[in-house]
Amino acid sequence: MPSPCPCGASADHAHCCGPYLSGERPAPDAEALMRSRYTAYTLGHEHYLRATWHPAHRPDSLNLAEDGATKWLGLEIKACRSIDASHATVEFVARYKIGGRAYRLHETSRFVLEDGRWLYTDGDIHPK
């Protein structure tokens, strides 16, 4: 039985973010990479997150195993903008709970295309 993709797209996980997380193929654009990275957070795929983070901006570790109290609730893509052929931004809101308290992360993320692969560089968090 198909399972819905955590990123909120209409496709099931096996036909949405699953092929990106498994390494079967790279995300074709910045929005797909944003969705797959959200999915990786929900599933605890630290390796995928690190592999899709630009090396110049990648943290030494994420420690997602220690962050097991986070329950991801949903992703809303607000805007996707192509800056040029190798740069794009994605504005999103991710909702989550920690210890029963609800939070939302509103960010505009920056992405770069290098060697045929989109990579997350960094982002600006929007104030509440």
In this prediction the pTM is 0.93
Q: For Cα atoms 61, 23, 51, give the angle at the middle one, nearest 5 degrees.
A: 25
Does pLDDT of 60 surpass 90? Answer: no
pLDDT tens-digit map of 16-29: 999 999 999 999 99
Give the pLDDT score at 99: 87
Give the pLDDT score at 105: 96
pLDDT tens-digit map of 72-87: 999 999 999 999 999 9
Give the pLDDT score at 67: 64
Does pLDDT of 37 surpass 90? Answer: yes
pLDDT bracket for residue 33 (50, 70, 90): very high
How far is the C-alpha of 78 from the C-alpha of 90, rounded, in Å?
8
Neighbouring CB atoms inside 10 A of 74's CB total 14
Reduced to 3 DSSP states, what percent helix, strand and coil does the chain have, rounded to the nearest 5? 25, 40, 35
Question: Tokens 């949903």 sit at which residue?
Answer: 74
Q: Structural domains in the chain?
A: 13-125 (3.10.450.50)
Q: Do residues 32 and 16 touch, judged by C-beta distance below 8 A?
A: no
Does pLDDT of 68 surpass 90? Answer: no
